[in-house]
Amino acid sequence: MADREAIIAAALGIGFARLTMPAVAERLGISHSTLYRYFPSRDALAAAAADRAVDAIAWPEPEDDWRAFLTATAWAHWRLFAAHPGLAQEVTALRLTGPGLVGRENRTGVALLGYGFSADDSVLIMDMLAELVTQAFLAVLPQGGDGGPESADGSDGGAAAAIEAVRERRRQLIGPWMHTFDPRLRGVLAAAVAGSPAAWFERKLDLFLDGVAVRRH
């Protein structure tokens, strides 16, 4: 007999990109009616699966250096989306929310208050930081499937495939238009498209944190 934990595990195994109630029922060999005893809808199940995925990530604890904390938090978000293709789309479409996702944002905001940021800036920073990572995975056409924790550059398992999908999608979207860019920009843009998505994200993160530093002073 399937229970709530088994259903969530099955949902994560299928992946957010391919998650449907029939797919979960088939994977577990149970009827749809059994699923609805635990989850009223596909989105409710997706929210529970997202919370489980969030809980499985190693998130940083705030220490003395606010920049190091935000950097580590950004890479924890990166690992989350790399491990679970399709989750970025779910979050952006506002199809799901839950105590895991909300609690994580709240803890980041509280940490920022502790570093001396105002409440207004704390909310802006935690929101923009999450959006910066989400955007990196948003253009990917999700493949679904299994995933697990991996290094920041996405070097293991399903996460590596997700990172490669980010790179390939950027090639598809920007490559045909490369010749239209000013020659002074073209070389930098071509290197960004062909290079490591994690390396380019790191540069964007540094620029964002430089702006955060200005607001703190």
Q: Structure pTM? A: 0.83
Handedness of CA 142, 102, 55, 129 (dihedral sign): positive
Superfamily of domain 4-51: Homeodomain-like (1.10.10.60)
Instruction: Note whether 81 and 88 are within 8 A (CB).
Output: yes
Residues of the chain with CATH 1.10.10.60: 4-51
* Residues 24-51: tens digit of each pLDDT: 999 999 988 889 999 999 999 999 999 9
Report the alpha-carbon distance of residue 96 to residue 78 in Å, rounded. 18
* Residues 198-211: tens digit of each pLDDT: 888 999 999 999 99
Residues of the chain with CATH 1.10.357: 59-216
Confidence of residue 93 (pLDDT cuts 50, 70, 90): confident
Q: Which of 130-144, 154-168, 199-213 has the highest mean pLDDT?
A: 199-213
CATH, domain range 59-216? 1.10.357
